[in-house]
A and B are shown apart, each in its own frame.
Chain A
């Protein structure tokens, strides 16, 4: 039985993505699909879940939001970091053109997803990225380099459309060009996207964040309306947070 114990990895590269975000590239791989997450552990400090932004080599894109991510940002090339995973359910392979929607650092798993979609020969991707200010936008150049049509929104209007990312998504959905929408970001954004997708009848796959403890579906810490974000998600199809029991035998 292999289990899922931590294994030590080393940072082989550290890439500054924006003012708050770095990508750590590790000297290992993980058989993960886009949307899945792994646990990052610093012995004696803490362990937290992070979405995987690349599987081979293993990569995490980490926003600086608290003491633990401060420590991850302080890691240098050659430093060790312990990983276990992958966990959870990611995005489906999908067919047709996909609209990727990222709110703030929520774009972290979407570039990985975009690469996987294009590698599978699907009909291409658009990326709609939003943030409060332009320096918080993530992966703009990376999506452009993939050949994606990129649509931007910032709340202060410093880049792209002034407003929220949902403002640029609404007309894109109405265009009828997209077979599905895949998103990751704050819950309010995801809820708005779910409503937009329902109205325009575009299937949606939405990745939710939650306070997570065990990460393996037993403790209940990440429960949201009867669903476990770590085990049933983090990626849910639209209207994911129905009352439980709808799938009762």
Chain B
């Protein structure tokens, strides 16, 4: 139904065998706390929806301030508040039931503090029959209290990937962090370990300081940066990953408009995560971005397929009318 609403442009895509009517995916952590909100995202134009990350046991999350618009983006440290995986299974079951008639896939999201616990969570959450499971190994707001995030090391990330893949038959998406020296190495490792898809990226760690008192603004001191400030970081990560692996990518970070989505797909993303945009663009965020994306493609006579990954081909003059010479481009495309 979304493809119809977008005119004659076919925005549908298929990720790990799952069909989406358009490439926009509600990113985890935004609205994903209840079946009603997931349904709202689906009804307002999301191609797929990701639930809030759940952990093996319930978490209250951090105290306020937890989320702030600092001018060039948002920063948040919610602290993964969630009802725990057993209750999450019930919520996911309801979400799957409500979204099935809409043709909008539900993506579960899991986090845990050991690789084995990730495996058990993947197994438990599979009971709700989500279409996909996103494996959040990159939450910046758990790092200090538990461990170095799994996404910081190729070996640890691959180990979690192998374990969750063994624990469930549902396709798994591994969510990576931008806060690593070489994200392509991590992507190569999780792809080799069997990742069905990769979400790039999670938020980027940062902090705000109150000038008057010198105190950190977020109660957790640091948080994850999202929104406009994250987009250039996400584009670079997606481009780098797309340069080294063929695994489908959900490009996430600072996508607020259809043109942002075009940029993300050009950098190599198959799907496009949309999160903080709901703060900037309001309740019709998904339909606005979807229609802008469709209009952009239609005006230029492109399909999604044709623009996907063209950043990586941009030295080929046939794929761009005005190929720019980009100094240092070779050094950046890590292969």
Give the docked Cα–Cα distance between A119 and B213 (Å).
Answer: 39
Kindly state whether residue B166 has any CB partner on chain A within 8 Å.
no
- Interface-located stretch among B34-42, B124-132, B172-180, B294-302: B34-42
A61-87, CB under 8 A of B: which get 1 and which 0? 000000000000000000010101000
Tell whether, in the assembled complex, residue A244 and residue B66 are in contact, meaning their CB atoms are under 8 Å apart. no
Interface residues on A, range: 35 or more
Q: Which residue in B43, B61, B64 is a CB contact (below 8 Å) of A248?
A: B43
A43 and B215 contacting across the interface, CB-CB below 8 Å: yes
Complex interface: chain A residues within 8 A of B76 (CB): 214, 218-219
* Interchain CB contact under 8 A, B212 and A220: no
A214 touches B39 (CB 8 A): no
A2 to B68, CA, bound (A): 12
- Residues of B contacting A80 with CB < 8 Å? 212
Residue B334 at the A interface, CB < 8 A? Answer: no
Q: Which residues of B contact A247 (CB under 8 A)?
A: 283
Is the beta-carbon distance between A220 and B283 smaller than 8 angstroms?
A: no
What per-residue 1/0 map shows which CB atoms of B60-78 lie under 8 Å from chain A?
A: 0101111111111010101
B32 at the interface (CB under 8 A from A): yes
Q: How far is the CB of B225 from chain A (nearest CB, A)?
A: 12
Q: A2-B71, A232-B283 are in contact. Are A220 and B65 (CB under 8 A)?
A: no
Over the window 205-234 of chain A, the binary record of Cβ atoms lying under 8 Å from chain B Cβ atoms (1 yes, 0 no) is 000000001111111110101101001100
A-facing mask of B13-46, CB < 8 A → 1, else 0? 0000000000000000111111011011001110
Report the bound CA distance from A84 to B69 in whole Å.
10
Chain B residues within 8 Å of A, Cβ to Cβ = 5, 29-34, 36-37, 39-40, 43-45, 52, 61, 63-72, 74, 76, 78, 81, 208, 210, 212-213, 215, 217, 219, 228, 275-276, 278-279, 282-284, 287
Q: For the A-B complex with A217-B278, A232-B283 known, give 17 more contacts whose Cβ atoms are closer than 8 Å.
A: A8-B210, A8-B212, A80-B212, A214-B66, A218-B29, A219-B67, A220-B31, A220-B32, A220-B34, A223-B34, A226-B36, A226-B40, A244-B40, A245-B43, A247-B283, A249-B43, A249-B45
